[in-house]
Amino acid sequence: MTQKKAIIYVRVSTDEQADKGYSLKHQEERLRNYCSIQGIEVVGFYREDHSAKTFDRPQFKRLLEFLKKNKRFADYLLFLKWDRFSRNAGDAYFMINTLNKLAVEPQAIEQPLDLSIPENKIMLAFYLAAPEVENDRRALNTIAGLRRARKEGRWVAKAPIGYLNARNERNQPIVNVDAKLAPVVRWVFEEIANGVYSAETIRKKAREKELNCTKSNFFILIKNPFYCGKIFIPAYKDEEAQFVQGIHEPLISESLFYDTQLVMSGRRRNFPTKQTAKKELPLRGFLLCDKCGGRLTGSASKGRSAKYFYYHCTPQCGERHKAEEVNIVVGDEMLDIASNKQSIQLFKHEYLDLLLTGGKEVKEMQDKVRVEVLKNKERLSNAQQLLLDGSLDPNDYKEIKNRYEPIIRDLESRLGDTTEANLELERYLKFGVFFFENLDQLYFDGDLILQQQVVGSIFPQKTSLGNLKSRTATMNLGVSLICRPGKDFSGSKNKKTRKNAGLSSEAPPVGLEPTTL
């Protein structure tokens, strides 16, 4: 009788070796001893350290390629247990058929099955499914544990730049402030919020301060609310996405974080550098000359006892205005907008109503998407069952799987995107109402940068003093619609101009975002 030949295959992943004590050497010894006792010649040996979720493994692909080029080279492909071969029932059946066509019989020496007997396919399904069930259960427990920790405000992943991973007295994972890099991270947010330098310039300067970060990771850092004390919990099953207050020490304030996001989204202007900017001249670079249409600059003239500031054009043109008076004209415009309380409240209620209506529509859409997800998963499950029953060809199953898995991933991605968008809308609404109701305070009491931000938000285009006085300056369209009410919503006619509008920025800035929100 001709001696049978076998290729032995051993596989282990890092997690399995750590959790269960699996060893490649142990598997090899067991397989070689089995072949020696059974009188089977070992003609090939392959060892793998990849997961068995798919057959996209380097060594198994080499093995399969070799068998296709050398048909009938071996009679058996031997491994210790069926979970060493695969953890996916559908893929396993497909690969068994492929090997059989190459005249190779796959077999687990500790779980031997004669697959020519139809009933043994039930046992094969059990051997293949049991490890997958165990993995799924472990994954669910892990997800639940991670979400529970995040809801408690604990960060259990790798610490973001500026923090260090640590353990508390109960041996739970926490993060502590990195004394070396935390000041650099704080400096990054402050510099971006100033709106003077580009993010890339600031990233390069941060590298000089030993904050080594790739361009993509740098932008992830800037957009991470973790630095202002918030932890984002994504939507999962019936739970909606939410932000929770972390127990870690924030490196920056919420107002600084949201101010930075405004700069990064392009909704804030770049202004003069700190070396050239003057608190008495917040409108320098914003005003146009009424005579020649050129851009007005600003400077100080030295008097007998003090300096006097002016906005002026070139000496040839000769246009010149007292800075304090011009600043008051713009301040009157801000006060006029903020006085439209009824219009602002109407905007708030209308937008809230729209948001709630939109929320219902979004929820209905999400419910429809969830139904589609379940429907496509059911189709995939039915196809798998038909494959196990032998009613569906493995090639047809693979085609079905390749068709529906991307659809399911796309639908699940849409669910997450709509939830996050709704949270963003609600936050912008709160900020918008606060901004309009406190516009005069932000302009009069803010520091230089805040004053310039406010003016740039209300008047997106440069304008002349004549247009400002005649109220014909081009205003932001959104502001015009919200705070330029009709006759039924006229603001108070008795409002008084702020005469203390020298616009000194000695008062501490209030920020663009209220700390109470």
What digits encode the pLDDT tens for the residues 343-395?
777 777 776 666 655 556 666 777 788 888 888 888 888 888 888 888 888 88
Separation between Cα atoms, residue 92 and residue 94, nearest integer Å: 5
Amino acid code (one letter) for 441? Q
According to DSSP, the residues that pair with 152 across neighbouring strands are none
Quick check: 35 pLDDT over 80? yes
Give 399-421 as a DSSP string.
HHHHHHHHHHHHHHHHHHHHHHH
Contact 103, 6 (CB under 8 A): no
Three-state SS for 110? coil
Is the whole model's pTM more than 0.75, yes or no? no
215-250 confidence digits (pLDDT tens): 889 999 999 999 999 998 888 887 888 888 899 999
The whole-number pLDDT of residue 196 equals 65
Tell me, yes or no, if 13 is annotated catalytic.
yes
The whole-number pLDDT of residue 506 equals 43
Q: Do domains 5-138 and 163-264 have the same CATH topology?
A: no
Domain 5-138 has CATH 3.40.50.150: no
The whole-number pLDDT of residue 504 equals 47
Give 471-511 as a DSSP string.
T-S---HHHHHHHS--GGG---TT----TTTT--TTSPP--
Pull the structure tokens for residue 26: 């142990």
Domain 163-264 has CATH 3.40.109.10: no
Residues in the chain: 517
The whole-number pLDDT of residue 25 equals 87
Domain residue extents for the chain: 5-138, 163-264, 330-517
Separation between Cα atoms, residue 319 and residue 326, nearest integer Å: 13
Quick check: 181 pLDDT over 90? yes
Separation between Cα atoms, residue 352 and residue 358, nearest integer Å: 9
290-312 confidence digits (pLDDT tens): 888 888 888 888 877 788 888 88
Give residue 14's pLDDT band: very low, low, confident or very high (50, 70, 90).
low
Quick check: 446 pLDDT over 80? no
Separation between Cα atoms, residue 331 and residue 454, nearest integer Å: 11
Give residue 154's pLDDT band: very low, low, confident or very high (50, 70, 90).
confident
Quick check: 512 pLDDT over 60? no
Contact 167, 174 (CB under 8 A): yes
Least confident of 3-7, 62-66, 105-109, 149-153: 149-153
The whole-number pLDDT of residue 201 equals 85
- Cα–Cα distances in angstroms (integers) from residue 243 to residues 188, 249, 354, 362, 402, in the given order: 23, 16, 23, 19, 35
Average pLDDT of the residues of the chain: 79
The whole-number pLDDT of residue 15 equals 54
Name the more confident of 442 and 40: 40
106-129 confidence digits (pLDDT tens): 999 998 988 888 888 888 888 877
Mean pLDDT of 427-456: 77
Which residue in 13, 51, 299, 505 is the catalytic one? 13
Q: What is the largest CA-CA distance in the chain?
A: 120
Pairing mode, strands 41-48 and 297-302: unpaired
Separation between Cα atoms, residue 121 and residue 393, nearest integer Å: 15
The rounded radius of gyration (Å) of the Cα atoms in the chain is: 34
Helix or strand (DSSP H, E) at 387? helix 341-388
Pull the structure tokens for residue 87: 């953890």
